[in-house]
Amino acid sequence: MPAAGFVLEKRKQGEALKKAFEINRAEITDMIKDSGLKGRGGAGFPTGLKMYLCGAAADTIKYVICNADEGEPGTFKDRVILETVPEKVFEGMAITAYVIGAKEGIIYLRGEYEYLKAGLENTLDGMRKNNLLGEKILGGNFDFDIKIVLGAGAYVCGEETALIESLEGKRGEAKNKPPFPVSSGLFCHPTLVSNVETFCNIPHIVTEGAQWFKNIGSEKSAGTKLVSVSGDVKKPGVYEIPFGMKVKDLLKLVEAGNTKAVDIGGASGIVIPESQFDREISFEDIPTGGSVIVFDKTRKMIDVMENFMEFFLDESCGQCTPCREGTKYFVDAVEKIKNGRITDQELKNLRDISNCMKLTSKCGLGQSSTNAFISILDNFKEELLS
Amino acid sequence: MDIYINGKKCKAVQGETILEIAGKNGVRIPTLCYHSDLCLAGNCRICVVDVDGARTLQTACTAMASNGMKIWTNTPRVIKARKMNIQLLLGSHFGECYTCPRNNNCELLKLAEEYGIEELPFPKKGKRTGALEITPSITRDPDKCIMCGRCVRTCEELQGVHAVKPVGRSNDIHIGTFFNQGLMHTSCTMCGQCINRCPTGALYETSCVQPVWDALADPDKYVVVQTAPAVRAALGEEFGMEPGSRVTGKMVAGLRRLGFNKVFDTQFTADLTIIEEGTEFLTRLKRTLVNKEKGLLPMTTSCSPGWIKYIEHFYPELLTHVSTCKSPQQMFGPLAKTYFAEKEGINPAKMITVSIMPCVAKKYEADRPEMNASGYKDVDYVLTTRELAKMMKMAGLDLKDMPVEEYDNPFGISTGAAVIFGATGGVMEAALRTVYEIVTGREIPFKNLDITPVRGMEDVKEAGITIEGVKEEYKFLEGAKVKVAVAHSLSAAKKVMDKVRSGEADYHFIEIMACPGGCLGGGGQPIPTSPEIRKARARAIYEEDEAMTIRKSHENPAIKKLYEDFLEKPNSHKAHELLHTHYLKRKRFDKVK
């Protein structure tokens, strides 16, 4: 792990919260804004702005939700955070709640992570005992507590509005935006939803300051990123890298050899060939929620394509036309490519469907589900169509 | 604030959607899952538009306007995306248009035409399975479902019934019922509001057209027909006439030309319902006020079979509150096969009674096992307004060209009080016109007999009338303030019935109709439906009332004669045998097998 690492390091509990109580809410919001912290789930929405919008929403009931529905294929960094430093995530949530005026926090925990629940409950109990959660936190006038709710296995519930629907006991489906959750979220109350890693960064920014944070990373992507590296590498695992790291440097770090392609961003990400390994992992170049999958030269790209497209055929929630109806054609196309029977006209039609899905799908799932197909098609055309 | 649509400045109010503003400014944006009666879904992605600054296209039905917003409704990428989404929907829509009940009235087909779809750029996803779900009222054809979710929203929001939901996901998603057991094993009320809002032929009434043709062609059968009040205010729409066109006489002429032996009016038994139900109401009032009995008030109406099935499922413990009167349709059947058959010397075994209804729940009602007071099935076949139009078209009859003819006697004589049964509040108004006069001997003190507080499209309406100067036998009502409520749509019914259950309601009499607007918005009425269309039909109904010479049920001379000749008096033993019924306590859904 590089020296820049701090996200997975233990720190003194409550220190940031205490400091937050000493400064006023608007200043904390500004601090987060100035730090340039962006959402670590992959979409990269500025966290400070989200805090500001949710804080400004007029309502006596507000919620802070930690999105721990880590479901992107190839991502497992939130699990590691929750196993090693859950208290920092909870403290980040408490600070956020304090800033926006929420009393209730919810961890939406991926169903498959049920085995983490007992440990997390322990941590929460410990924090309650230390008066870092519960009533009159640290003797002040702020009440806040966190409960854990388990997801039920749908990938789409990682999308914040679908997550909220699921929490409300409904079918996990993305909602129309606007209104965004910051103005009307859980049970129609203003709700701030952020990724596990995002919350984990907040205590550090509050104590170390915005400038400290901004000094790490690239120009438009402040801080570090946890990436989950899997595939054909000698040292798979979770790595904390400064934003802006080149793909080839990451490959060196994880001791990848004979690499043919790297998928960045999981099933909804893109797959790049060796000629693009100079590109950076950052919001300005290739963003990722954390998934990095490495393929060496023994791998067939058609298999990668098939795996991802079948994933989406399984996971589309089915409510909107382009995503529900479109995905199947890509799975069919993989079969045709395999059999060497796809025509240029069919490929053109697939691009048209893909564009339509990108432009008109209701949520990020459908908007990004053909990314892998199209990028593999563009970057490995010869292999695929020979 | 101002927004710009295709470069043109348009005024907009906070909270208005792009679709609404475009509509006001004469810019058409195609829609599919949108329906003016329902909340927004934004599922079909047909109404997408370009908005400056937005990465993706925005759905006009859900996107709110913001100041200075620049919207483009017809950019090349918008047209291309809409066309693709239409093609994608067609790719999993299975069935030939020429065999479809929605031939000529299909929103998907219309869009395909508008966007010049010639062929699909990819093979269709499968083939027609032909697996239909057929209930007495509703037929579902899942092959044609395009997952717009209008039926689900109708069932949830408008009706609060929740009989259908999306099940499964991605390509396997479909509209299903509780454990996919089928509508007959759920609390489906058979109201058919889902049919009125389905954009394709995935939902339609279970047809009785063929057996009716067969009966008409059978020289051995004597076929009589009754027509419900709301049909005359809507049938014209099936022939291209404006909503709200009154076509009573033309419809009678058309029915006669189809070969019915007698053309009668359900309004006759609507008047009869008022006498029976009004008398029942006065009895319940007396038993409550004088004998201090419980559980009799408020009394609710019982004309709407969707409402009956709803209360059987959702408030079975309150069934004693429902009037025991059969609906006008079911009063007509036994009277035709007893009183009329005897009078005319017709063998009731050879008589076929057909009713033309704005409703599909009436089909289920006619099939209820207890509906055989005549010794035969009281109402043999129920046709919707749409089915009647189909039969007329098959017979080469254009309603517009029909002469105006009169109903046959004796069941063709009715009053203005009966025609308003077709609109929400109408039964209440008709009942009040009669009950007030029975009790006081004077006309109800409303100008021109129009009881306006119970009219209109508000979902729950309330009114109160103080009764003064009563006749001797109604002394117990002197000075009483009778409170009434009127609800239409089952979600409105829920509001009222929750109050009844909690004891919070102090109503004496409640009218409930399962469908929005009352029968004029019924599940068997012409498609499309909208608040405007229903208002136009209501206008037609109240105009019919105005135009009638007699406007109070108790003044219907044929009804008086019916009691003299046959029924003796209201709520008599014979009346109870033929005209009253009982209800069934039902569960919300059947046990999973």
Q: Are B578 and B373 in contact (CB under 8 A)?
A: yes
> Does residue A4 belong to any structural domain of this protein?
no
Kindly identify which residue of chain A lies nearest to residue B92, measuring between CA atoms.
A325
- Give B108's contacts in chain A (Cβ within 8 Å): none
Mutate which of A165, A325, A341, A345 to disrupt the B interface (most B C-beta within 10 Å)?
A: A325
- Residues A194, A53 within the same domain: yes
> CA-CA distance, A8 to B20, in Å (whole number)?
51
Cα angle B335, B336, B338 (rounded to 5 degrees) comes to: 65
Kindly identify which residue of chain B lies nearest to residue A155, measuring between CA atoms.
B169
Pairing assessment for the beta strands B133-134 and B58-59 based on DSSP bridges: unpaired
At residue B494, the pLDDT reads: 98
Contact of A335 with chain B, judged by CB distance below 8 Å, is answered with no
> CA-CA distance, A217 to A231, in Å (whole number)?
25
Kindly identify which residue of chain A lies nearest to residue B50, measuring between CA atoms.
A359
Sheet with B460-466: strands ordered across: B299-300, B509-513, B481-488, B460-466
> Does residue A282 belong to any structural domain of this protein?
yes
DSSP label at residue B567: I
The three-state secondary structure class of B369 is coil
Which of B44, B59, B147 lies nearest to residue A318, judging by beta carbons? Answer: B147
> What is the per-residue pLDDT across B86-123, written as a single tens digit (0 to 9) for each?
999 999 999 999 999 999 899 999 999 999 999 999 99
Query: Above 50 in pLDDT, residue B23?
Result: yes
The full length of chain A comes to: 386
Give CATH for domain B285-325+414-579: 3.40.950.10
Indicate the number of domains in chain A. 3
Q: Which of the listed CATH numbers 3.30.420.40, 3.40.50.920, 3.30.70.20, 3.30.300.30 matches domain B119-203?
A: 3.30.70.20
Position of tokens 């009016």? Answer: B265
Q: What is the CA A223 to chain-centroid distance, rounded? A: 15
- Residues A237, A210 within the same domain: no
Contact of A154 with chain B, judged by CB distance below 8 Å, is answered with yes
- C-alpha distance from residue B355 to each of B227, B228, B412, B546 (Å): 6, 8, 13, 25
> Does residue A25 belong to any structural domain of this protein?
yes
Q: Are B542 and B418 in contact (CB under 8 A)?
A: no
Kindly give, in sequence order, each residue whose CB lies less than 8 Å from that of residue A288, ignoring residues fewer than 6 positions away: A42, A225, A227, A264, A265, A266, A269, A281
> Does residue A373 belong to any structural domain of this protein?
yes
Contact residues of B toward A, CB < 8 A: 40-46, 48, 56-57, 59, 62-64, 77, 80-81, 84-85, 88-89, 91-92, 121-122, 125, 146-147, 149, 165-166, 168-173
Pairing assessment for the beta strands A191-195 and A224-231 based on DSSP bridges: unpaired
The three-state secondary structure class of B543 is helix
Torsions phi, psi for A105 (to 5 deg): -125, 150
Position of tokens 């039969």? Answer: B391
Question: Which of A157, A180, A214 lies at the terminal end of a domain, its last residue?
Answer: A214
> Does residue A2 belong to any structural domain of this protein?
no
Mutate which of B49, B122, B164 to disrupt the A interface (most A C-beta within 10 Å)?
A: B122
At residue A386, the pLDDT reads: 80
Q: B278 is written with which tokens?
A: 């009004």
Q: B505 is written with which tokens?
A: 């309601």
- As a whole-number percent, the residues of chain B with pLDDT over 70 amount to 100
The three-state secondary structure class of B522 is coil
Q: B532 is written with which tokens?
A: 């405007």
> What is the per-residue pLDDT across B54-86, written as a single tens digit (0 to 9) for each?
999 999 999 999 999 999 999 999 999 999 999
The answer to whether A171 contacts B48, with C-beta atoms less than 8 Å apart, is no
Q: Are A19 and A13 in contact (CB under 8 A)?
A: no
Beta strands in chain A (DSSP E): 63-68, 104-109, 145-150, 191-195, 224-231, 237-242, 259-264, 270-273, 291-296
> CA-CA distance, B493 to B485, in Å (whole number)?
10
> What is the per-residue pLDDT across A239-274, written as a single tens digit (0 to 9) for each?
999 999 999 999 999 999 999 999 999 999 999 999
Pairing assessment for the beta strands A63-68 and A191-195 based on DSSP bridges: parallel
Kindly identify which residue of chain B lies nearest to residue A343, measuring between CA atoms.
B122
The answer to whether B84 contacts A319, with C-beta atoms less than 8 Å apart, is no
> CA-CA distance, A218 to B456, in Å (whole number)?
64
Q: What is the CA A110 to chain-centroid distance, rounded? A: 13
DSSP label at residue B294: S
> CA-CA distance, B224 to B215, in Å (whole number)?
10
Contact of A358 with chain B, judged by CB distance below 8 Å, is answered with yes
Contact of A355 with chain B, judged by CB distance below 8 Å, is answered with yes
Which of B40, B63, B88 lies nearest to residue A321, judging by beta carbons? Answer: B88
> What is the per-residue pLDDT across B255-288, written as a single tens digit (0 to 9) for each?
999 999 999 999 999 999 999 999 999 999 999 9
Query: Above 70 in pLDDT, residue B346?
Result: yes
The three-state secondary structure class of B435 is helix
Indicate which CATH number applies to the domain containing A246.
Answer: 3.10.20.600
**What are the boundaries of each domain within chain B?**
2-89, 119-203, 209-268+329-401, 285-325+414-579
pLDDT category, A1, cuts 50, 70, 90? very low
Give CATH for domain B2-89: 3.10.20.740
- As a whole-number percent, the residues of chain B with pLDDT over 90 amount to 98
Mean pLDDT of B488-502: 98
Cα angle B271, B276, B278 (rounded to 5 degrees) comes to: 90
Q: Are B50 and B70 in contact (CB under 8 A)?
A: no
Pairing assessment for the beta strands A191-195 and B174-176 based on DSSP bridges: unpaired
Q: B102 is written with which tokens?
A: 């929605």
ipTM, 2 decimals? 0.94
Query: Which residues of B are tagged catalytic?
Result: 277, 280, 303, 323, 362, 365, 370, 519
Cα angle B146, A184, B176 (rounded to 5 degrees) comes to: 25
Q: What is the CA B539 to chain-centroid distance, rounded? A: 16
The torsion angle over the Cα atoms of residues B283, B288, B292 and B298, rounded to 10 degrees, is 150
DSSP label at residue B122: S
CA of A171, closest CA in chain B: separation in Å? Answer: 9
Question: Which of A296, A323, A340 lies at the terminal end of a domain, its last residue?
Answer: A296
> CA-CA distance, B511 to B491, in Å (whole number)?
14
B307: nearest Cα among B589, B583, B537: B583
Q: Largest Cα–Cα distance of chain A, in whole Å?
A: 71
Q: Are B443 and B449 in contact (CB under 8 A)?
A: yes
Mutate which of B16, B45, B111, B152 to disrupt the A interface (most A C-beta within 10 Å)?
A: B45
At residue B230, the pLDDT reads: 98
Contact of A169 with chain B, judged by CB distance below 8 Å, is answered with no
Question: Which of A264, A296, A328 lies at the terminal end of a domain, its last residue?
Answer: A296
> CA-CA distance, A355 to A333, in Å (whole number)?
16
For residue B249, count CB atoms less than 10 angstroms from its CB and return exposed for 0-12, middle for 13-18, buried for 19 or more: middle
- Residues A127, A236 within the same domain: no
Query: Above 60 in pLDDT, residue B138?
Result: yes
DSSP label at residue A13: T
- Residues A125, A266 within the same domain: no
The full length of chain B comes to: 593
> CA-CA distance, B430 to B273, in Å (whole number)?
10
B385: nearest Cα among B256, B231, B205: B231
pLDDT category, A2, cuts 50, 70, 90? very low
Residue range of the domain that includes A371: 301-385
pLDDT category, B592, cuts 50, 70, 90? confident
- SS3 labels along A56-106: HCCCCCCEEEEEECCCCCCCCHHHHHHHHCHHHHHHHHHHHHHHHCCCEEE
> CA-CA distance, B209 to A93, in Å (whole number)?
65
Mean pLDDT of B240-262: 98
> Does residue A133 belong to any structural domain of this protein?
yes
Pairing assessment for the beta strands B48-51 and B58-59 based on DSSP bridges: antiparallel
- C-alpha distance from residue A10 to each of A26, A290, B462 (Å): 27, 21, 65
- Residues A333, A362 within the same domain: yes
- Residues A208, A317 within the same domain: no
pLDDT category, A384, cuts 50, 70, 90? very high
CB contact burial B544-558 (16+ within 10 A = b; e otherwise): bbeebebbbbbbbeb
- Residues A247, A118 within the same domain: no
Position of tokens 């009425």? Answer: B525
Query: Above 50 in pLDDT, residue A3?
Result: no
> CA-CA distance, A351 to B405, in Å (whole number)?
62
- Give B173's contacts in chain A (Cβ within 8 Å): 317-319, 324
> What is the per-residue pLDDT across B547-587, written as a single tens digit (0 to 9) for each?
999 999 999 999 999 999 999 999 999 999 999 999 999 99
CB contact burial A59-69 (16+ within 10 A = b; e otherwise): eeebbbbbbbb
The answer to whether A176 contacts B42, with C-beta atoms less than 8 Å apart, is yes
Indicate which CATH number applies to the domain containing A210.
Answer: 3.40.50.11540
Torsions phi, psi for A293 (to 5 deg): -120, 125
> CA-CA distance, A319 to B129, in Å (whole number)?
22
- Residues A60, A202 within the same domain: yes
The per-residue pLDDT of chain B, averaged, comes to: 96
Q: B335 is written with which tokens?
A: 């009277």
- Residues A98, A177 within the same domain: yes
- Residues A63, A188 within the same domain: yes
> CA-CA distance, B575 to B331, in Å (whole number)?
10
> Does residue A145 belong to any structural domain of this protein?
yes
> Does residue A208 belong to any structural domain of this protein?
yes
- Residues A44, A192 within the same domain: yes
The answer to whether A319 contacts B170, with C-beta atoms less than 8 Å apart, is no
B420: nearest Cα among B529, B274, B298, B530: B274
Contact of A362 with chain B, judged by CB distance below 8 Å, is answered with yes
* Overall CATH class of domain B209-268+329-401: alpha beta
At residue A4, the pLDDT reads: 55
- Residues A74, A19 within the same domain: yes
> CA-CA distance, B115 to B119, in Å (whole number)?
11
Q: Are B268 and B412 in contact (CB under 8 A)?
A: yes
Between A344-360 and B76-90, two packed helices, what is the crossing angle to 10 degrees? 110
